[in-house]
Amino acid sequence: MTPWERLQEAWCRVRGWYPARVAGRQLRCDPDHISFWSKVDNGSWEPQTFTVLDSILAPGGIHLDVGAWIGPTVLHAAHCSKKVFCFEPDKVAYMYLLANLKLNKLDNVIPFNMAVADKSSISRMASPRGKRGDSMTSLLYPDGKAGMEVVVIAWQQWLELVGRPVFTSIKMDVEGGEFTLLPAMKSYLQQQKPALYLSLHPHLLPADKRQQQMTATVDLLSPLYELVDSGSGERQPVGNLLTAERVDRGGSYLLLPVA
């Protein structure tokens, strides 16, 4: 880090925020993640994520972000949607999520410091990198270093709690939790058919479980959705997720309701 960068970081910490352009929009972001926000600012952090979100967010729509972390996708969605619900169970990440919402005076976001799954519980979660507040915190690592107990609420229970809103779009990135959450959401997806930006993490599962879990996910989604090719934009069968490469590594995919 250059002396100028150190001075800039010190000033941002004193001021309480770091200026960053998030998907082209100038926002105030927490100064404890300057290296991350600088990547967002220069467009090097997941530019395809904002492109996909732009294609499914609607000014009058209600968006759900499952796995919000410190808020990059929530901040963007809040400016493009009528209302945003979001989940972030990691207590440290949630603290920064709230800070970033406050810095940008966003009152159309309803955040929940809990995980959502197929059943309610108090469960432990951790990051494989052994750090709280990490973007990879997952229920798949209950015994991981620096883990924490979190509230987990069943999807159906939460849906009733918030009045069964009609989500026009859902972004889900829950580090392997999607394989149990999606079956719990099946009836809702069948009824409402929201656009779905789904991150799949089969590589976090035991090798002998990956094909089974990916096949079950494809079987669930195939009658409802089509896969959008990230390059051509053409619609494809969801079954294309079962290639050997996709079964053994993570990826994020845009799924649109069958026409």
Are 111 and 134 part of one and the same domain?
yes
* Dihedral, CA of residue 38, residue 233, residue 196 and residue 105, to nearest 10: 30
Read off the pLDDT band of 6 (50, 70, 90): confident
Whether residue 184 is predicted with pLDDT greater than 80 in this model: the reply is yes
- Region of 16 please: left (phi>0), alpha (psi -120 to 50) or beta: left
CATH number, position 168: 3.40.50.150
State yes or no: pLDDT of 201 exceeds 80: yes
User: For 184, what's the count of Cα atoms within 13 Å in the CB-facing half-sphere?
Assistant: 17
> Which of 27, 45, 63 is the C-terminal boundary of a domain?
45
- Residue 231 is predicted with a pLDDT of 84
- Are 245 and 197 contacting, i.e. CB atoms less than 8 angstroms apart? no
Final residue belonging to a domain, choices 45, 64, 79? 45
Number of domains in the chain: 2
Same domain as 113, residue 65:
yes
* Backbone region of residue 233 per phi and psi (left: phi > 0; alpha: psi in -120 to 50; beta: other values): left
Question: 191 and 219 in one domain?
Answer: yes
Structure confidence at residue 253 (pLDDT): 98
Report pLDDT for 90: 97
Return the pLDDT at 4. Answer: 79
Let me know: does 183 contact 77? Beta carbons within 8 Å: no
Do 114 and 193 reside in the same domain of the chain? yes
Residues 29 and 146 in one domain: no
93-107 average pLDDT score: 98
State the residue range of the domain holding 6: 1-45
- Kindly state whether residues 220 and 247 are assigned to the same domain: yes
> Among 29, 45, 61, where does a domain finish?
45
> How confident is residue 3, by pLDDT bands cut at 50, 70 and 90?
confident
Evaluate if residue 1 carries a pLDDT over 80.
Answer: no
Q: Convert the pLDDT of each residue in 210-256 to its tens digit.
A: 999 999 999 999 999 999 998 889 999 999 999 999 999 999 999 99
Query: For residue 154, which phi and psi values (nearest 5 degrees)?
Result: -70, 140
- Range with lowest mean pLDDT among 14-18, 68-72, 205-209, 230-234: 230-234
| Higher-confidence position of 257 and 8 | 257
Q: Provide mean pLDDT across the span 167-188.
A: 98
Residues 53 and 11 in one domain: no
pLDDT of residue 126: 95
What token pair was written down for 185? 């959401």
Residue listed under structure tokens 């079956």: 183
Do 158 and 146 belong together in one domain?
Answer: yes
pLDDT mean over 151-167: 98
Look at residue 8 in the predicted model and tell me its pLDDT: 83
Residue 192 shares a structural domain with residue 163: yes
Q: 56 and 16 share a domain? A: no
Q: Which residue has the higher pLDDT, 4 or 245?
A: 245
Residues 176, 72 within the same domain: yes
Mean of the per-residue pLDDT values of the chain: 96
Q: How many CB atoms lie within 10 A of CB 165?
A: 13
> Strands 195-200 and 225-228, how do they pair?
unpaired
Q: Both 86 and 140 in a single domain? A: yes
So what's the pLDDT on residue 9? 87
